[in-house]
């Protein structure tokens, strides 16, 4: 692939839809983590796993957003 291909995909509705799905998953994980942290004896291992998954989602969102709006060096 070259830069022209990524520019052509920038307006792809599939990418935008995927970003929305990932953002929703990210918010859901955030809510789950918050709920687990308020428990009297929170499962620290589960919380750590969810936080890692949340960070992975954030990275995926960033990659897709870069495809939608690539950096332009002027």
| Domain layout of the chain by residue ranges | 3-68
The DSSP line for the chain is: --HHHHHHTTT-HHHHHHHHHHHHHHHHHHHHHHHHHTSSS--HHHHHHHHHHHHHHHHHHHHHHHHHS-----
The pLDDT score that the predictor gives to residue 24 is 98
Q: Output the tens digit of pLDDT for each of the chain's 74 residues.
A: 445 454 444 468 899 999 999 999 999 999 999 999 999 999 999 999 999 999 999 999 999 998 888 777 76
Ramachandran bin of 37, using left for φ above 0, alpha for ψ from -120 to 50, beta for the remaining angles? alpha
Residue 74 confidence (pLDDT): 61
């Amino acid at each position: 692939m070259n830069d022209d291909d990524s520019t052509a995909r920038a307006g792809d509705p599939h990418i935008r839809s995927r970003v929305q799905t990932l953002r929703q998953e990210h918010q859901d994980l955030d809510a789950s983590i918050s709920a687990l942290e308020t428990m009297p004896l929170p499962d620290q291992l589960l919380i750590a796993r969810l936080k890692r998954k949340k960070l992975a989602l954030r990275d995926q969102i960033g990659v897709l957003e870069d495809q939608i709006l690539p950096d332009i060096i002027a």
